[in-house]
Copies of this chain bind each other. A is one copy, B any other.
Amino acid sequence: MIYDRVALIGLGLIASSMAHAIKAAGLAGEVTGFARSAETRATAREIDLCRVCDTVAEAVAGADLIVLAVPVGAMGDLAAEIAPHLKPGATVTDVGSVKQAVIEAVAPHIPEGVHFIPGHPLAGTEHSGPRSGFASLFRNRWWLLTPPEGCDPAALRRLEDLCRGMGANVDTMDAPHHDLVLAVTSHTPHLIAYTMVGVADDLRRVTDSEVIRYSAAGFRDFTRIAASDPTMWRDIFLTNKAATLDILGRFTEELFALQRAIRLGDGEHLHEYFTRTRAIRRGIIDAGQDTSAPDFGRGEK
Contact = CB atoms under 8 A, between A and B. Distances in A.
Interface of A: 73, 122-127, 132, 134, 136-137, 139-142, 144, 171, 180-182, 184-203, 205-206, 208-228, 230-231, 233-235, 237-238, 241, 244-245, 247-248, 250-252, 254-255, 258-259, 262-263, 265, 267, 270-271, 273-278, 280-284, 287, 289-301
A153 B294 CA distance: 35
Contacts of A230: 270-271, 274-275, 278
A254 B198 contact: yes
B224 A281 contact: yes
A254 B185 contact: no
A105 to B, nearest CB: 15
19 contacts: A124-B216, A126-B294, A136-B300, A140-B300, A141-B216, A142-B216, A171-B213, A181-B211, A185-B219, A189-B219, A195-B255, A198-B254, A198-B276, A226-B277, A227-B281, A230-B274, A234-B274, A235-B267, A244-B262
The complex is assembled from copies of this chain, and their number is 2
A125 B221 CA distance: 12
Contacts of A283: 208, 212
B274 A202 contact: no
A261 to B, nearest CB: 8
A297 B294 contact: no
B189 A122 contact: no
Contacts of A208: 283
Contacts of A289: 212-213, 215, 220
